[in-house]
Chain A
Amino acid sequence: MVSKLDVIVAGGGRVGFETATILDDRGHDVTVVERDQERADAVSDQYVATVVTGDASNPEILEQAGVEDADAIAGLTGQAGLNLAVCMEAKEIAPGIRTVARIDTRAKESYTRFVDTVLFPELAGARNAANEIIGSDVETLADVTGTLDIMQIRVAEGAPAAGRKLSEVRFPAGTLVVSDDDGNRIARPETTLDAGKRYVVAVEPDVADEVMNLMRG
């Protein structure tokens, strides 16, 4: 169980950059491939990922990004076709890699033959927008907090906190375990963090990696 992943993000735009930032916060290794030199410099300055400047559909660039040893690649540019091409190339070079492509339509099914997962960020954005428009009743948690991360985390087998009572585990300041296993009850000090069960946890971004270490190993 290696919990630290080596991830390539193709596209350093809004979606790509934010994704890289989140992955970096959680302690993963990220390499961003960005075509535009100016944009690449800007991403470099944020110091969340190694940046390779070039076209991600160029196999040579993908190799420079370390595709052979990567655990996952995400095509997150604004062009669905390019994303798909990047993922398929990566799969060809490194068959074990997990591929995620950003697409621009709701019709996911037709793509999943070629990539492991697709995502349609505009749909999530639209959901948020709809929540905002309709008002308080159907807001998701993410919209009422500032910078907190509300995550559902599955405790991994063999993680430091696995099998321990909440009262025995010293989570870093800025962490709150919210729910009991599988989200039916509010967590209590005697709640046990069982491997394989999921818990809702609120964390401040700067301690997210420590919480991940404790719960995921």
Chain B
Amino acid sequence: MSARAAGPTDGESRTEARVSQRDRSPEADLGLLDATMIGMGAMIGAGIFVLTGLAAEIAGPAAILVFALNGVVTAFTGLSYAELAASIPKSGGGYAFVREVFADLPSFLMGWMLWFAYMIAGALYALGFAPNFLELLHVYGLVPPPEAVGAIALPVVDLALPAAFLLAFLAVLGLVSLNAVSTAASGSLETVFTIVKVSILVVFVAFGVASPMFSTAEFQPLFPEGGGALAILPAMGLTFIAFEGYDLITTVTEEVENPRENIPKAIFVSLAATVVVYLAVVTVAVGTLGAQGLAEAGEAGIAQAATSFMPTGIPIIQNGGAIIVFGAVFSTLTALNAVVIASSRVAFSMGREGQLLPSFGQIHHRYGTPFVAIVASAVVMLGSVVLPTQSAGNMSSLFFLLSFIVVNGSVIKLRRERPDMNRPYEMPFYPAPPIIGIVLNLVLTVVLIEFLVRTDPLALALSAAWIGLGVVSYLALNHLRTDPDAAEGTAAGDEQVPLEDD
């Protein structure tokens, strides 16, 4: 209630004349609902469609616990995000907060990791999009079942590529090009998208529970044989990314009305709603298809569960399952679009802060987009679609876990070093939530790394290589900056484009 009447401008600045401005920004018009929808839209997307099958493969019917516990773990970091977002008025999300709190190298690494997490998430969503898209074509009899679609020969380069890989590649290329030349795709349709996605999942749950295939017997035994309750930990690590996205709420804080009340609320409401949706969906998927069947369907698990029980013979769309498969295609594509934007935004902020080459922080003179940041992100994403889906999920989750640890650490550091900073939202029971958040995220990180050592050394090696490359880039950039003669000409942007993915 502090809307103050701005008096006549009484400050005189050297280079410009300016009149008073009445409000902080003319379009502070997002309400609690919009902000909640942004968070839910970013979370409910690819994660649930793509990873449910993979989680079932590791944890069996306990996949349901996996999603519930991940929601709890994430909530602690949610508190930290809420406090930081309310007191640091920047729209850059996690990187912006950490930049405010930590010294150069740690904040660089935070941005570097978060950038990678979003890019790999992009590859993950593209890889999830492809089999679901093939499934959609299959439902209408256009192509054989996904697993039977073989390689597509490319006459030009005399090379046969798997169709799914090609589709994933094209999806990334299409969305990147769109975002590189126009800002329209980062638009205001988020609320509509979210409603579509949630409605499709509600249809799925409703038909699934009512279907004769649904049986609680599928939940016995809850834990996979031999693994015991601890088997769910690696699955938690893998699916952690399904709760990534509420942090995007903090990137639009400036446009939200009454942010100090609405931002924390939006974070918690979207988290709670997402947990409910996930639990319902996973319950139905396991209850109908069984953990075994889900695991076999992999990335298209939810879609296959749906085609197994949805009514057929509906006019126009024929098979009711097509709605759900369409939901999976739609969700993975919108999520891919969101991370294309999110990853380039991190790179752009780092460029603005002088932590990447300045060209990363510049808007393209013709397209009005952070062109260099988008193109650099695209290179990594395109390189990463050759990865197996599970590796992409693991790496992306790993980097989100690491960055969440840093975010929790920022809250503690900021409270100690700047006790008098104004905190419009203060988390309850400080310092317990950030400490618990750090411990839980750390446990999952360790479990995930241990799991990767055993099953996926490639993902681990690539992750380590990315961090190594980051340190090298950081040092190189510092060197360039202290040696201004060499700074422009030689460093024409390419040096920063990471290419360690083949």
Residues of A within 8 A of B (CB): 1-2, 4, 14-15, 17-19, 21-22, 24-25, 27, 29, 40-54, 61, 64, 66, 76, 119, 121-125, 128, 140-143, 145-154, 158-161, 164, 168-170, 172, 205-206, 210, 213-214, 217
Contacts and interface: CB of A to CB of B under 8 A. Distances in A.
Nearest to A42: B2
B403 to A, nearest CB: 21
Contacts of B421: 50-53, 64
Give the 9 A-B residue pairs with the shortest CB-CB distance, closest first.
A42-B2, A151-B16, A124-B12, A142-B17, A51-B422, A64-B418, A121-B10, A160-B365, A47-B89
Contacts, number: 159
Contact of B368 (A27, A125, A172): A172
Nearest to A117: B14
Interface stretch (B145-153, B350-358, B427-435): B350-358
Given A41-B2, A128-B8, A161-B365, A145 B19 contact: yes
B366 interface: yes
A14 to B, nearest CB: 6
B319 interface: no
B420 interface: yes
A48 B8 CA distance: 19
B1 to A, nearest CB: 8
B177 interface: no
A150 B17 contact: yes
Nearest to A201: B16
A100 B120 CA distance: 46
B24 interface: yes
B24 A158 contact: no
Contact of B420 (A19, A53, A76): A53
Given A47-B253, A51-B87, A159-B362, 16 more contacts: A4-B353, A15-B10, A22-B13, A29-B90, A64-B418, A125-B8, A146-B19, A147-B22, A149-B16, A150-B18, A151-B16, A153-B15, A154-B15, A170-B365, A206-B26, A217-B358
B263 to A, nearest CB: 10
Nearest to A157: B488
A17 to B, nearest CB: 8
29 contacts: A18-B21, A22-B18, A29-B100, A41-B422, A44-B260, A46-B23, A47-B24, A48-B89, A50-B89, A50-B100, A52-B422, A64-B420, A64-B421, A119-B12, A121-B12, A123-B12, A124-B12, A140-B17, A142-B9, A146-B19, A151-B17, A159-B362, A160-B363, A168-B365, A170-B368, A210-B363, A210-B368, A213-B363, A217-B358
Contact of B6 (A18, A50, A210): A18
Contacts of A159: 362
B19 A124 contact: no
A93 to B, nearest CB: 15
Contacts of A214: 363, 365
Contacts of B424: 41, 44-45
Nearest to B9: A18
B422 A1 contact: no
B88 interface: yes
Contacts of A46: 2, 23-24
Interface string B339-369: 0000000000000111000100111111110
A2 B420 contact: no
A119 B11 contact: yes
A193 B468 CA distance: 41
Nearest to B96: A29
A141 B17 CA distance: 7
A208 B214 CA distance: 57
A210 B352 CA distance: 12
Nearest to B367: A170
A206 B254 CA distance: 12
Nearest to A14: B7
Contacts of B2: 41-43, 45-46
Interface in B446-502: 488
Nearest to B12: A124
A17 B11 CA distance: 10
Nearest to A210: B363
B20 interface: yes
B10 A14 contact: yes
A83 to B, nearest CB: 13
Contacts of A43: 2, 422
B10 A50 contact: no
B417 interface: yes
A152 B366 contact: no
Contacts of B254: 47
Nearest to A144: B19
B16 A152 contact: yes
B25 interface: yes
A41 to B, nearest CB: 7
Contacts of B24: 21, 24, 46-48
A25 B358 CA distance: 20
B21 A205 contact: yes
A170 B181 CA distance: 12
Contacts of A66: 100
Nearest to A54: B420
Contact of B25 (A17, A52, A161, A206): A206
A51 B424 CA distance: 10
B417 to A, nearest CB: 7
Contacts of B22: 147
Contacts of B23: 46
A141 B16 CA distance: 10
Nearest to B354: A2
Interface string B404-425: 0000000000000111111010
A44 B10 contact: no
B259 interface: yes
B27 interface: yes
Contacts of B10: 14-15, 18, 121-122, 124-125
Contact of A151 (B18, B27, B366, B417): B18
Contacts of B12: 119, 121, 123-124
A53 B422 contact: yes
Contacts of A1: 358
Contacts of B17: 140-142, 150-151
